[in-house]
Amino acid sequence: MATPDSIPGQPELVEYALPIGKKAYAGNCAECHGTDLKGQPARGIPNLIDNDFLYGTGRLSDIERVIMYGIRSGSSKGWDLASMPAFGTPKPYSRYELASLSPGEIDDLVAYLRSFQNLVEDQDAVKRGEELFRAYKKGVCWDCHATDAMGDSAIGAPNLTDPVWLYGDGSAEWIRDSITYGLSGSCPAFVDQLPVAAIRSIAVYVHSLIDRPGQRTAALAPGSTDSTGR
């Protein structure tokens, strides 16, 4: 029995699964993630093939699990360990007590996060933001995003140091909105809607198209047709 992560190394299995996965993807995933699999940043719908992974590390088994049980889907096996608090509201987080932040504190955090892309000149704000990011009583950002702000794919906390933004374009306005109003995207669980084989085939299809540096993407690109013309 092939394990999910062994499939990419077995061309005959990949070849078998790709057309099935492509068709199942088009019918179930493309509506949100797009036929090009590149998502919608303005709506927090992630690009699936940019080699940047919110949950897991991009293994086929990671992808399969998200498709199977979803994210904040209501399935107890889905990913739902944390959400981005709304720090600019009276009660930032529903799961436990967190202090609200003031507009100035949020601006400091924005400065700190944008400093990773060398986009900030106010170094005092960056320093204050960094302190707040690592504070224990306020902010507490490190708890999910790690002290180095590189995130934690075990709970879906994104890396904040790279230029990839799940929501928006990385502008100060978008980052401020994310910190102020919070975020909690979701993905349905397909375990009760699709056969296990179809779910695995979608995972194979998505996995095959991930743009990994130094690797050639799969022959069955989104716009192409397979050998059967589907």
Partner 1 sequence: MTDHNASSQTPPDGSSNFLRADKVSRTRSMLLYGIGTLIGLIIGGIGLFNARGTTTNVVPPQNVAMVNNVPVLRSDFETQLETETGIPFSQASKEERLRVLDEMVREELMVQRGLELDFAETDQAARNALYSAVEQQALAEVTTSRPTEEELMKQYEQNPERYATEGILTSHNLLVPVGDGRSDDEAKAIATQVAEALRGGSSLEDVTAKFPVMEEKFYDEDFYFAAKIHMGDVLYEAVYDLDAGTVSDPVKLDDGYHVVQVVNNQKPRPLTYEHARSQVLNDYRTQQQARLMNNTLQFLRNRSKILIADDYKNDYVPQPYPGTGSNP
- Structural tokens at position 224: 């192409």
Answer for which of 49, 68, 98, 157 binds partner 1 (CB under 8 A) is: 68
The one among 31, 122, 148, 169 contacting partner 1 by CB under 8 A? 31
Q: Is 163 in the site for partner 1 (CB under 8 A)?
A: no
Distance CA 145, CA 147 (A): 7
Residue 19 and residue 226 in contact, taking contact as beta carbons nearer than 8 Å: yes
Would you say the C-alpha torsion 69, 74, 78, 80 has a positive or negative sign? positive
76 binds partner 1 (CB under 8 A): yes
For 40, the 3-state DSSP assignment is strand
Is the CB of 156 or the CB of 220 nearer to partner 1?
A: 156
CB of 132 to partner 1, least distance (A): 14
**Min CB(165)–partner 1 separation in Å:** 13
Beta carbons of 144 and 157 less than 8 angstroms apart: yes
> Of the ranges 19-27, 47-55, 62-70, 141-149, which one interacts with partner 1 (CB under 8 A)?
62-70
- Does 73 contact partner 1 by CB under 8 A? yes
- Dihedrals phi, psi of 45, to nearest 5 degrees: -95, 115
Residues 6+ apart with CB under 8 A from 29: 67, 202, 206
Binding site for partner 1 (CB under 8 A): 1, 3-6, 31-32, 42-44, 59, 61, 64-65, 68, 70, 72-77, 88-90, 94, 100, 102-104, 167, 173-174, 177, 180-181, 183-184, 186-189, 196-197
